[in-house]
């Protein structure tokens, strides 16, 4: 991300969510009524086309053909995380932390989340755009949301959260979506170690990651070259990944227990096949859930 400019990948994910929200209720994975407010004029055109019956299926297909499967992966991970948030709310979570919030609108669209305290943590440039747009759409910013500006590679998460009124003795659910793959290994390590002590015992974190093999050449994944090339051109190159076989041990060493780790196979079984849908999915992009212990 260039200083002073909102993340371009954040806008792309907002576009994907806006496109998915145009699908008929019986087949769409979620409904995000706010995503389209974060689109630039060209992206609005793409979104408008995707809402037309003739183009509804064609637009995602064209995106995935050109970029290697990001649309399907993005909307499936959105649904996976939505499900995890709703489960946490049902279990009595009191705080929700969204790391690298981007244009994530869960604090405004997930039923019941307003009963918690939500901390949106992100780079000041992207966060500035987010605050202005949401204030305009809602007529003001809701009281349950606190905005926490931070540069993950340079600033301490604990200090930023504490200054925003975070309570370490309360059950907390953390969302870390679309971020780890842009950080250094040191920043990822420091964040996981912080998350292990943030909130009451039994607090949960859901996060996304890319397979390390796509970065070091030890794995081959269909469509990966196109996807990596796209983010490189956007100036937001992937820098970090995990080997899924090592993830449980990595988290255990940081006092976290891996609960779930999903990729294309799980997405198809849980979300796509039951709806008769056949989206392209990036084989190297995954999501996981862990709990503090």
Q: Above 70 in pLDDT, residue 5?
A: no
The pLDDT assigned to 6 comes to 64
Percentage, residues of the chain above pLDDT 70: 97
Q: Among 214, 197, 195, which residue's Cα sits nearest to residue 206? A: 195
Q: What is the pLDDT of residues 121-174, one digit of tens each?
A: 998 988 999 999 999 999 999 999 999 998 766 778 899 999 999 999 999 999
Q: What is the pLDDT of residues 68-77, one digit of tens each?
A: 678 999 999 9
The model's confidence at residue 3, banded by pLDDT at 50, 70 and 90, is very low
**Predicted TM-score (pTM) above 0.85:** yes
Q: What is the pLDDT of residues 35-70, one digit of tens each?
A: 999 999 999 999 999 999 888 888 888 887 777 678
The pLDDT assigned to 56 comes to 81
The domains found in the chain, sorted by start residue, are 67-292 (3.40.50.150)
The model's confidence at residue 256, banded by pLDDT at 50, 70 and 90, is very high
Mean pLDDT for the chain overall: 92
Q: What is the pLDDT of residues 10-33, one digit of tens each?
A: 899 999 999 999 999 999 999 999
Question: Which of the listed ranges 60-64, 83-87, 195-199 does the model predict with the highest average pLDDT?
Answer: 83-87
The pLDDT assigned to 13 comes to 94
**Are the C-beta atoms of residues 143 and 180 closer than 8 Å to each other?**
no
């Amino acid at each position: 991300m260039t200083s002073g400019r909102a993340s371009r990948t954040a806008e792309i994910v907002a576009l994907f969510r806006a496109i998915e929200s145009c699908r008929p209720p019986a087949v769409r994975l979620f409904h995000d009524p706010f995503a389209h407010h974060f689109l630039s004029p060209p992206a609005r055109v793409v979104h408008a086309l995707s809402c037309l019956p003739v183009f509804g299926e064609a637009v995602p297909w064209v995106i995935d053909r050109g970029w290697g499967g990001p649309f399907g992966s993005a909307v499936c991970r959105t649904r996976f995380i939505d499900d995890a948030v709703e489960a946490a709310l049902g279990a009595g979570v009191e705080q929700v932390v969204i790391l690298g919030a981007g244009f994530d609108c869960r604090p405004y669209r997930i039923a019941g989340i307003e009963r918690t305290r939500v901390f949106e943590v992100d780079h000041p440039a992207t966060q500035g755009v987010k605050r202005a747009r949401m204030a305009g759409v809602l007529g003001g910013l809701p009281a349950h949301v606190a905005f926490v500006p931070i540069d993950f590679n340079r600033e301490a998460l604990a200090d930023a959260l504490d200054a925003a009124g975070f309570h370490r003795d309360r059950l907390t659910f953390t969302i870390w979506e679309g971020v780890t793959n842009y950080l250094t290994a040191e920043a990822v390590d420091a964040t996981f170690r912080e998350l292990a002590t943030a909130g009451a015992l039994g607090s949960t974190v859901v996060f996304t990651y890319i397979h390390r093999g796509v970065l070091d050449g030890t794995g081959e994944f269909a469509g990966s070259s196109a996807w990596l090339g796209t983010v490189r051109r956007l100036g937001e190159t992937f820098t970090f990944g995990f080997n899924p076989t090592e993830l449980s041990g990595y988290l255990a060493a940081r006092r976290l227990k891996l609960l779930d780790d999903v990729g294309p196979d799980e997405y198809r079984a849980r979300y796509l096949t039951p709806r008769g849908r056949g989206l392209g999915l990036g084989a190297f992009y995954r999501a996981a859930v862990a709990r503090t212990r």
